[in-house]
Amino acid sequence: MIKNLKESSTTIPQDQSGAAPARAVFDEQGIALYVTPDFAALCGGKAEALTGRSLLDIITFESPEDAFHSSGLFGKNADTPAGMIANLREGPHPALFGQNAVDIRFDRIRMAGGKTRIVASTGGDTAPDALFLKQIDAMESRQESAEAPPESGKIDMSAAAGELRHFLNMSHDLLSIADSSGRFLRVNTTFNKILGYNDSALNRLTFMDIVHPDDKPQVRNTLSGLMYDDARQDNIVDFEARLVAQDGATHWMEWRHKRSGDVIYSVGRDVTTFKRHEETLRQQEMMLREAQSIGHMGHWRWLVGSDEIEWSDEIYNIFGVGREGFVPALDAVNRMTHKRDVGRLLQAFQRAIIEQKDYEMEFRITRPDGEIRYIRCQGRCEHDSNREVVALFGIMQDVTERTLNEQHLTEAKDAAERAYAAKSQFLANMSHELRTPLNAIIGFSEMMQRQLLGPIGSERYLDYIAGIRESGEHLLDLISDILDMSKIEAGRMTLEKQPTDLSTVIEESLRLVSGRAEIASVKVMNEV
């Protein structure tokens, strides 16, 4: 198990001057064994991420021809990492870390026990001193002792594993070591805290015992393949699985497993909070899609100068196209836009960019099936730090039904106004036609009633003539009232107050109903 050097006087060897240079230690194959945080910072990463990686993946040489012997470049096995590492020249070499150039000194050191280590150092041309080499040798001895697996099926809490557990317990990840049957050999305190199991309880459990039932088939197949397939020895397997804590709570975990011999080393990260956030975000996105579908509305965004436009799912539905066979771009939208609305749409976008104001407009599109739809577009400007417009975004809503309803209402209103005008014209013409004969009837009956051309033989004719005259005047009043109603509807009626003889009105009213009263044997009396 590879460990990183920590920043302390017991783990980072120092020069005789007291300064701690940035260093990394590689084995004979060029695999990183120890990396100080300062050296990892040069690479733009963390020490944990660099251990186990090849020197050739970590360090880029400015002049490979100078860094390696010629045989390492063109001789036998020159194209293999092991061949290049074997021919690495000792001494300082300029190297690149991103955009930064740093001089790295390489020293090939013979350690106690016959092992060879390559030490990469910054901060001068001084080779690692004896204290550094002694401490590296001591750390490797402690590591080999710590990596020896304890008796199968028991949590190792012995003093020999104490120093290793200090490192394990400093991690926020769940760390565990298990045997070939899956029984826990060692865990860190983070494992105990998050899942709630103490070491005594874990002695009676396997990794599969705490896996969520729904995830057991996947995990069992993955770990079985890792454990019994020798070709996967030292491979790292990543997967997600849920673990059930002692209190019954479920924790989503990201797991990394590595097999070494008959032992599986596992690193787990609790991602339950992230999963909950993802689920919340997924539900919110689903609600947004449903709301947009109900409202026939979608959102879009266009980066100024770009050809393509970002669309939500509902806009694809509005335009009657699918994501697979249609790319939302300015040219494609223009082709679907009604030719009379293309200019208005482009002008609205241009005006929004120039004036940096919100905009709103309606335009028509012709869908691939030939159907015409009415679209309402609302948008705003997106600004950069200099208040320059860098993008336009907004919504598009299908308002076809509303627009068609408005058109139908307008047509109905126009039809009603035309009918009203025709009615008024008809009443005016009818009133004119009726008034002419009524005026003649009233005039001649008045002449006969007054006997202007001589007496009439019977006085009863005078009563009949009076009735004819009153009925004609009444009919004329009704026609005048109809015309007055037309004036009232048109708002052109003017009322005037004048004295009225109520007895005359009553007598005229009784004369109109007296005929029906006699037929019904009803006696109507006037006592005014």
* Cβ neighbours, 10 Å, residue 109: 17
What pLDDT is stored for residue 516 in this prediction?
A: 83
Q: How far is CA 415 from the centre of its chain?
A: 48
3-state SS class at 358: coil
β-bridge partners, 436: none
- pTM exceeds 0.85: no
- Best CA proximity match to 160, nearest among 143, 180, 177, 137: 143
Would you state the pLDDT for residue 81? 67
For position 145, what pLDDT does the model report? Answer: 60
**CB of 32 closer than 8 Å to CB of 52:** yes
Q: Between β-strands 174-178 and 23-26, what pairing exists: parallel, antiparallel or unpaired?
A: unpaired
* Two structure tokens written together for 62: 């400015």
Count CB atoms within 10 A of the CB of residue 24: 28
Residue tagged 């009603």 (tokens):
416
CB atoms within 10 A of CB 155: 19
Which residues does the chain have with pLDDT short of 70?
Answer: 1-20, 69-83, 98-99, 112-114, 124-126, 141-165, 167-168, 229-234, 295, 428, 430-436, 440, 453, 458, 460, 490
Which two tokens mark 117? 């280590």
d(CA 403, CA 412): 14
What is residue 112's predicted lDDT score, i.e. its pLDDT?
67
**The pLDDT value given to residue 8:** 35
Are the CB atoms for 345 and 361 separated by under 8 Å?
yes
Q: What angle do CA 522, 527, 528 make, to 5 degrees?
A: 130
The whole-number pLDDT of residue 233 equals 63
Per-residue model confidence (pLDDT) at position 10: 34
Q: What is the DSSP letter of 111?
A: -
Q: Which residues touch 389 (CB under 8 Å, ≥6 apart)?
A: 304, 352, 353, 356, 381, 382, 383
Q: Residue type for 467, please?
A: G
Task: Please choose, from the candidates 175, 174, 146, the residue with its C-alpha nearest in 3D space to the C-alpha of residue 160.
Answer: 146
Q: Which pLDDT score, from 0 to 100, does residue 2 have?
A: 35
